[in-house]
Amino acid sequence: MKAILIALTLAGMFLLTSATKKVEKPNLVFIFSDQQTFDMLGCYGNKQIKTPNLDNLASQGVLFTHCFSNSPICTPFRGLLLSGQQTLYNGTFVNDKPLVPGHGKKFAEVLRDEGYNTAYIGKWHLLGGDRDRPIPKGEMRYGFDEVFASNNCHVDFRAGQCFYWNEEGQKVFFDKWEAYGQTDQALQYLESRKDATKPFALFVSWHPPHDWGKFEGEDGLMHYKYDAPDELMAMYNRDSIKMRPGIENTPDRRRMVQGQMAMTTGVDIAFGQLMEKLRQLKLDDNTIVVFTSDHGDMLEFDDANYPKQYPHDYSCHIPFLLRWQGKIKPGSTTGLLFSALDIMPTVLGLMGLEVPKECHGKNLSKAILTHDENAVDYIPIWLYEGKGFRGVITRDYTFSTQKGATEGSLHSVLFDRKNDPFQVNNQFSDPKMAAVKEKLWALTQEWMIKYNDQFWEQDDFMKAATDEQWNNSPYIRPVDILK
């Protein structure tokens, strides 16, 4: 009888302990580069580029083959990432317009309120206005409360030229290439978190492989400059570089590609250091690691004038790698249609956290965990900068149009994604594609109606806003001024 009572007592203690045992929340390390197209990684099929650490991440987690930046430009992507809201609603409708505080919790605000230490290191580009100033404390940091080290937006990555603002509002210059200096800051954060008993969320935003100036080429024309530190440039033989289909192989363009691949290798080296630190600190088992980029780079594909701001894959098709050991099958891929708008709600969903009702993006965590590749029919794409465009991406097609369906514009396109993967044949004006184009335009109108987008252009915003709203206020949302 005594033995039975002891057994029952032990069983009760076990049940009580099991019922009250705290479930350990996963940490999050979210890393993104700037202006890195999906094809600038070895794991996406690029046999020229050297990215062993990111390729290793892909082998340990899931690689997304269809991830896109809905609005392929720096500030709009960052607004989508941190709010999960469509651009007309979050304030970041063009570059250098700030993300509007309030109107639902932002990514880091959710994490902070769930007990996470939150840190942000690197390029910000969400303050708006003058780029050369520190980010103020408080609501304009959107929940990144523990560590915040940013230069807002500065494009000279060279040692002695690159810097960050400290909490006293002073510029502190790095004595090494910017991505390496920022990585040192991230390593220090991981080593010396204030409260190691709490879960953490670390966001690291590297500005390379973004262009950082222009150079006069051998052809007498100006080209975007991507030169990297000498030791990185030396890893690539400029004369043997192969170009993407659709780009003429010239010495000046080979220099551009060499520089961007060299910077990307530098990003990969920095990424490897972060992963090694997670391993050393025994944090990798319970840490979700994400790598992506804010948009791609045309690298003068089809003689484009700008590196991004186009509906083409080279502008808006971005890498997305996710590792969560024990939860995500190593070495897997998914063809799920996924976009910047979906990142915040999906990552929060994976972490078991509530998604704010103000998010417009989809929580696709279940689709990822159950390998459902058909959960999304299309991705909306748009650009409000300048004349802009509206469109959609499906598994079969990329479609976009300018207001008035301007022929000959790089913003009015129809590409067959399966039969023309390099997008060298624009079928926008092909009469044989009229029925397809009509269906894709109907899908475009569907999302435009959902967000009350009346094909506004940048001039419309400027006319609707007061001078103070346009130039100074951090509280301008197009949905508030365009009635």
Q: How far apart are the first and last CA of the chain?
A: 79
pLDDT at residue 481, as a whole number: 87
Domain 380-481 has CATH 2.130.10.10: no
Is 325's pLDDT higher than 90?
yes
Q: Take residue 197 and report the two structure tokens written for it.
A: 């008993």
Cα gap 196→286, rounded to integer Å: 14
Instruction: For residue 472, name the pLDDT band (cuts at 50, 70, 90).
Output: low
Cα gap 139→145, rounded to integer Å: 10
Strands (E), 209-262: 214-216, 222-224
Each domain of the chain, given as residue ranges in start order, spans: 27-375, 380-481
The average confidence (pLDDT) of the chain is 92
Query: Using one digit for the tens of pLDDT, what is the confidence trace for 337-375?
Result: 999 999 999 999 999 999 999 999 999 999 999 999 999
Is 15's pLDDT higher than 80?
no
DSSP symbol at 286: G
Cα gap 70→50, rounded to integer Å: 28
Query: Using one digit for the tens of pLDDT, what is the confidence trace for 248-301?
Result: 999 999 999 999 999 999 999 999 999 999 999 999 999 999 999 999 999 999
Backbone angles phi, psi at 64, to 5 degrees: -90, 120
Q: Take residue 253 and report the two structure tokens written for it.
A: 């363009």
- 0.95 surpassed by pTM: no
CATH superfamily of 27-375: Alkaline Phosphatase, subunit A (3.40.720.10)
Is 18's pLDDT higher than 60?
no
Backbone angles phi, psi at 21, to 5 degrees: -65, 130
Task: Over range 461-479, report the average pLDDT.
Answer: 81
Q: Which residue has the higher pLDDT, 12 or 53?
A: 53
Our separate counts of H helices and E strands in the chain read: 15, 18
Instruction: For residue 13, name the pLDDT band (cuts at 50, 70, 90).
Output: very low
The winner for highest mean pLDDT among 28-37, 95-104, 396-405 is 28-37
Q: Which range, of 81-85, 155-159, 309-313, 478-482, averages the lowest pLDDT?
A: 478-482
380-481 shares the fold of 27-375: no
> How far is the CA of 284 from the CAs of 42, 138, 280, 310, 325, in angstroms?
23, 31, 9, 37, 8
DSSP 289-304: EEEEES----TTGGG-
Query: Using one digit for the tens of pLDDT, what is the confidence trace for 237-261?
Result: 999 999 999 899 999 999 999 999 9
